[in-house]
Structure 1
Amino acid sequence: MTSFMAKSAYSQPCLRSKDGLRRVAQLRMGPMALAFCAVWLGPLCGGAVQAQSNQRPHVVLILADDLGYGDVQPLNPDSTIQTPAFNRLAAEGITFTDAHTPSAVCTPTRYGLVTGQYCWRTRLKRGVLDGYGSPLIDADRATLGSVFSDNGYRTAIVGKWHLGLGLVGGKANLDLAKPLTEFPGMNGFESSFVIPASLDFPPYAYFRDGKATTSETVDQSAVGFPAYTRQGPRAVDFELRGCLDRLTDEAVTVISGMKESDRPTMLYFPLTAPHKPVLPAKRFVGTSNRGDYGDFVRQVDATIGRVVDALESEGVLDQTIVIVTSDNGSFMYRIDEGQPDHLDDESVQGFHAASHRSNANWRGTKADVWEGGHRVPFFVRMPEKMNAGQKVNQVVGLVDVMATLADHLNLSTTDDAGPDSVSFAKLLADPNADYRRSPLVCHSVAGMFALRAGKWKMVAGNGSGGREKPKGKPFETPYMLFDLEADPGETNNIADAHPQIVQRMTLALEKIRNQN
């Protein structure tokens, strides 16, 4: 067993073993990519940040579903949607302003977060799984669940799995009376209460520790936006509008056992909202003055607030690392003035910029390779409010969560755990620390690659790879290059002016893609 060190952006990644530091660059990057990192990105890696008490802290990781960068007030002060829980996280924790999902859609981001490996290394090269998708995580792949469980943690998942379940009978002959053949319990999570996929994908059912809570179903009809659902079986105990509250009840139950347990707890809580169907609980309807979508964002915020309040009431908040982020940007478009938006017609999936900017000023939406597709809210509340109110403007990725937590908590891991995960633990200890990540890959729904290296972003294709036109095609030239410091809106393609940078970044991307 080994434990992660801070795999620096500027040198060879390294792991610490019983025999001391051991270079494992060949597991992560080829020499040309490493040379690129050294030239463009910075200094050597720092040491691991140790847990600050004999008892390791609890960890609660909350993943919102399709929550945009501009949906939360700490990142979009112009927003009129009240987000008191996010405001509290910003005041008591660390706000990361340049955090990115490995993909601009659900399944591949969740895979990268849970395994520390880019999803495009698996069979899923584009798109997402549906509710009947077969399990995506290999049996021997390390996960957050297995890493924490192997290190003495009580591990639990509550919420949207979307990484494939072993449903008996599949779509044609679904049999909910039979236990799942594969479920999160086989990926290191000791307890699990999950739904298969997004809340618009059948089958609509709850599964506790590999068994459906009921096998009795009714037919759910297809419904248009905002209450968007697909036709399929729905368990009789599954109520779409009440799903988020039901999951939150389960998460709070896990929290209620933290104080009395003889082991620290790691809770992974992937939410179902504000992803479609946009069905806020009745008590939130009309509370945002920004339509059903705004009301749903209010419920997401309240859900996070309820979790934080539960930790506080149990007396464990200041012994807990709380991470709150999103799996990709919002699906809400920016609608041109003069056309109806969501406030004029609830069936419209978008806002005028003057009404609300779900993805702030970033270009594009969910599914796109543009910043709006993968730059997301990311907040970390440390025990005892360490570094409260601080901001980090350095690039980090959700794929880095495994390495970061293992590094910070000094967790033992196998050599092949989190092969694409890079620790930013030093930023948790000191948000002003000198840190530059090695090139980070972001991916669109259609398989368009982007590479981020410092201020530079290269798109290896000729379009969004998602929803915004032109969609383009992966690896179709001309490639695009943006200086995000000078041009955060990605309006000016400067590839022609910097051919050497494009060449170096193209080479670095190919080296990363060709790693096993």
Structure 2
Amino acid sequence: MQLLPYTKSFNQQLIFGSLLSVSIFSAGCGNNDDSFAVTPKAKLISLANPEKSISLVENKPNIVLILVDDLGYGELGSYNSKQNIPTPNLDTLAEEGVRFTDAYATAATCTASRFSLLTGTYAWRQAGTNVASGEASAIIQPHTTTLPSLLKKAGYTTGIVGKWHLGLGTKEEGPQWNGFLSPGPLEVGFDYAYIMPSTNDRVPTVYVENHQVANLDANDPITISYKSRLRGDTLDYQDYIEQGKTNQLRQLPSDSGHKGTVINGVPRIGYMTGGNSARWSDDTMTDNFLQKSNDFIQNNKSKPFFLGFSSQDVHVPRLVDERFAGKSGYGARGDSLLRLDWTVGQIKQILADHKVLDNTIIIFTSDNGSVLDDGYTDQAVSFYGGKNPTGPLRGGKYSQFEAGTRIPLIISWPKGGIPQGKVSHAIVSQVDFVASIAAATKQTLPVGSLTSGVPQDSINLWDAFTGIKNTGRSSVVLDAQGLAIRQNNWKLIPPSSNKRSFVAGVETGYSNQNKLYNLDEDPGEQTNLAEKNELRLKELDNLLSTIQENTSDYRKKPL
């Protein structure tokens, strides 16, 4: 696989697929600010029957799900005309498919939202789904019905490359880094896995391929601790302070959590020794994931495949090589966004090189909202200079406000009948991928309890996801260590006992009062209507309680 060069010029930036002749106009999220939600107004593909569902049975197109990390609602040119960092590949993807203005991750942090995306169940229903430690055991159990297990039953070969962060190993033993790592992705429906087991700011800083740490030398075993410092072949942040070497670090911590073992010049969360031959290089992580994706596609291009490509961008630490460093004008975070957009172009090129692009559905989305300062002093706040990556929305990652969970979602398959250049205002959630794929592959989801591993909250929105219909959910529950609910244009954030007003510089929304917003009129959640509309408040509060109490019954008849 030959990686294509990145060029800063928008006109020279490599863009894949046929460019449409488009005119640009403002399409709001209920607001009058013409700087957001810019819509490429493209001519739709002519469909023989525009109301007919797109089947995954007759044709069995490949599916590539690109799940990125901490990307804000207003960071793509297709969502924000005043976005100063070019995202031409993603903007082209939006021109080639359906762009959703009201799509949600289920949670404002990654472990919970990834759990819901794969299982079709709100993560708050299951204990242990908060942000997972680097030594967490498997959170999704082997008997669980999942998105990849459904596609596997439908005849797809399934693979995942990139970030996992859903734990490995048994509850009794946890991950056995020097041995056989199970359960993990292969036990919940994936045929192949090449993963970063946790996050790029946590130890262990190694890749796991299927059931083993990749390139591990048995004579240099890995030791991990999240409780106490380790002595061995590594130094931690405290060592660098004591030895007067902090000037040698590539990034400095901005909080107490990122003061563990220093790997590649960056202090991580947690402590690690050993595993030298297996340690990753942050600078080459994207290229490594692309190579593994290319290998998976090459090996499976003669049959239907599903690839989950889970990028580490734009999560911290934001380390980029010379192709991207300094190119955005917005520091390391902006450079990471350039690399992310380039990566999407590379994935499309890989598909084109293997002659499967025309028969591949591409889904692009983020696991939660954006954050600037999330553990390292990479000057993201100063570089952005008040320009908000959340667009018109309030909050961000960790927040109960909209920017915590409302995320970009683009779905494209122009050769297969998904409309081009369409903007959908349907309320959709990543939790609905499971039931939607089941319906598209003509499988019936079982009904049962949470402990049986059956999806509890996913509903079939396949026709909305593929642009055939313009309606989605009437309500969706949103989780930021405290639940909120949206029903149609109304949003309720109930009182919280959590007293943290800000996390990582992001406004959380926690308070001791109800907050009620009309999102059509007030997408930035500035005007609390709780006192003026007590009846609506009570309706939403009762609805949230009902959903919390009901599982399978709710899935059969969504409220």
Specify if TM > 0.5. yes
In the other structure, the counterpart of 2:337 is 297
Unaligned runs of 5+ residues in structure 2 are: 1-50, 223-232, 238-250, 255-265, 449-453, 552-559
In the other structure, the counterpart of 1:129 is 132
Which deviations, in whole Å up to 9, do the C-alpha atoms of 1:245-276 show, x marking residues without a partner? Answer: 2112111211223332xx31011111111100
Which deviations, in whole Å up to 9, do the C-alpha atoms of 1:385-426 show, x marking residues without a partner? Answer: 630111101211111111222223334543354321122212
Q: Tell me if structure 1 keeps the 8 A contact 2:331–2:383.
A: no
Residues 1:381 and 2:431 aligned together: no
Residues 1:404 and 2:419 aligned together: no
Which deviations, in whole Å up to 9, do the C-alpha atoms of 1:310-330 show, x marking residues without a partner? Answer: 112211112111101000111
Q: Any idea what SS the aligned residue of 2:347 has?
A: helix
Q: Any idea what SS the aligned residue of 1:69 has?
A: coil
Q: Any idea what SS the aligned residue of 1:375 has?
A: coil
In the other structure, the counterpart of 2:367 is 327
Q: How has the CA–CA distance of structure 1 residues 53 and 166 changed in structure 2, closer, same or farther, with 3 Å as cutoff?
A: closer
AA at the equivalent of 1:252: N
Residues 1:421 and 2:458 aligned together: yes
AA at the equivalent of 2:122: Y
Residues 1:365 and 2:396 aligned together: yes
AA at the equivalent of 2:155: G
Q: Any idea what SS the aligned residue of 1:133 has?
A: coil
In the other structure, the counterpart of 2:246 is none
1:210-289 alignment, distance < 5 Å: 210-213=211-214, 214-215=216-217, 216=220, 219=234, 221-222=236-237, 224-225=252-253, 229-233=268-272, 235-237=276-278, 238-260=280-302, 263-289=303-329
| C-alpha distance in structure 2 between counterparts of 1:193 and 1:63, whole Å | 15
1:10-409 alignment, distance < 5 Å: 49-51=53-55, 54-124=58-128, 127-166=130-169, 176-213=177-214, 214-215=216-217, 216=220, 219=234, 221-222=236-237, 224-225=252-253, 229-233=268-272, 235-237=276-278, 238-260=280-302, 263-332=303-372, 347-351=378-382, 356-384=387-415, 386-409=418-441
Query: How many residue pairs are counted as aligned between the two chains?
Result: 452
Q: Tell me if structure 1 keeps the 8 A contact 2:331–2:380.
A: no
Offset of 1:354 from its aligned partner?
Answer: 5.8
| C-alpha distance in structure 2 between counterparts of 1:66 and 1:469, whole Å | 13
Q: Any idea what SS the aligned residue of 2:63 has?
A: strand
| C-alpha distance in structure 2 between counterparts of 1:456 and 1:353, whole Å | 31
In the other structure, the counterpart of 1:457 is 491
Q: How has the CA–CA distance of structure 1 residues 482 and 352 changed in structure 2, closer, same or farther, with 3 Å as cutoff?
A: farther
In the other structure, the counterpart of 1:25 is none
| C-alpha distance in structure 1 between counterparts of 2:387 and 2:316, whole Å | 18
Q: Any idea what SS the aligned residue of 1:311 has?
A: helix
Q: Any idea what SS the aligned residue of 2:423 has?
A: strand
| C-alpha distance in structure 2 between counterparts of 1:492 and 1:228, whole Å | 41
Q: How has the CA–CA distance of structure 1 residues 351 and 369 changed in structure 2, closer, same or farther, with 3 Å as cutoff?
A: farther
Which deviations, in whole Å up to 9, do the C-alpha atoms of 1:48-76 show, x marking residues without a partner? Answer: 82417733111111100111112211111
Q: Any idea what SS the aligned residue of 2:308 has?
A: strand
| C-alpha distance in structure 2 between counterparts of 1:347 and 1:199, whole Å | 15
Residues 1:483 and 2:486 aligned together: no
Q: Tell me if structure 1 keeps the 8 A contact 2:395–2:509.
A: no
| C-alpha distance in structure 2 between counterparts of 1:188 and 1:137, whole Å | 11
Q: Any idea what SS the aligned residue of 2:294 has?
A: helix
Q: Any idea what SS the aligned residue of 1:62 has?
A: strand
Q: Any idea what SS the aligned residue of 1:49 has?
A: coil
Q: How has the CA–CA distance of structure 1 residues 119 and 465 changed in structure 2, closer, same or farther, with 3 Å as cutoff?
A: farther
Q: Tell me if structure 2 keeps the 8 A contact 1:258–1:316.
A: no
Unaligned runs of 5+ residues in structure 1 are: 1-46, 335-344
Higher deviation after alignment, 461-470 or 141-150: 461-470
Q: Any idea what SS the aligned residue of 1:323 has?
A: strand
Q: Any idea what SS the aligned residue of 2:194 has?
A: strand
Q: How has the CA–CA distance of structure 1 residues 351 and 484 changed in structure 2, closer, same or farther, with 3 Å as cutoff?
A: farther
| C-alpha distance in structure 1 between counterparts of 2:287 and 2:172, whole Å | 29
TM-score, scaled to structure 2 = 0.75
Q: How has the CA–CA distance of structure 1 residues 73 and 229 changed in structure 2, closer, same or farther, with 3 Å as cutoff?
A: farther
| C-alpha distance in structure 1 between counterparts of 2:540 and 2:354, whole Å | 49
TM-score, scaled to structure 1 = 0.81
| C-alpha distance in structure 1 between counterparts of 2:354 and 2:178, whole Å | 36
Q: How has the CA–CA distance of structure 1 residues 183 and 254 changed in structure 2, closer, same or farther, with 3 Å as cutoff?
A: same
Q: Any idea what SS the aligned residue of 2:74 has?
A: helix
| C-alpha distance in structure 2 between counterparts of 1:54 and 1:472, whole Å | 46
Q: Any idea what SS the aligned residue of 1:268 has?
A: strand
Q: How has the CA–CA distance of structure 1 residues 185 and 515 changed in structure 2, closer, same or farther, with 3 Å as cutoff?
A: same
Q: Any idea what SS the aligned residue of 1:253 has?
A: helix
Q: How has the CA–CA distance of structure 1 residues 471 and 51 changed in structure 2, closer, same or farther, with 3 Å as cutoff?
A: closer
What is the identity percentage for the equivalent residue pairs of Structure 1 and Structure 2?
A: 28
In the other structure, the counterpart of 1:10 is none
Which deviations, in whole Å up to 9, do the C-alpha atoms of 1:262-306 show, x marking residues without a partner? Answer: x31011111111100111233110111111110001111111111
Offset of 1:108 from its aligned partner?
Answer: 0.1
The partner residue of 2:540 within 505, 508, 511 is 505
Q: Tell me if structure 1 keeps the 8 A contact 2:69–2:315.
A: yes
Q: How has the CA–CA distance of structure 1 residues 142 and 351 changed in structure 2, closer, same or farther, with 3 Å as cutoff?
A: farther
AA at the equivalent of 1:181: S
Higher deviation after alignment, 108-117 or 188-197: 188-197
Q: Tell me if structure 2 keeps the 8 A contact 1:168–1:181.
A: no
AA at the equivalent of 2:479: H
Q: How has the CA–CA distance of structure 1 residues 457 and 254 changed in structure 2, closer, same or farther, with 3 Å as cutoff?
A: same
| C-alpha distance in structure 1 between counterparts of 2:506 and 2:160, whole Å | 37
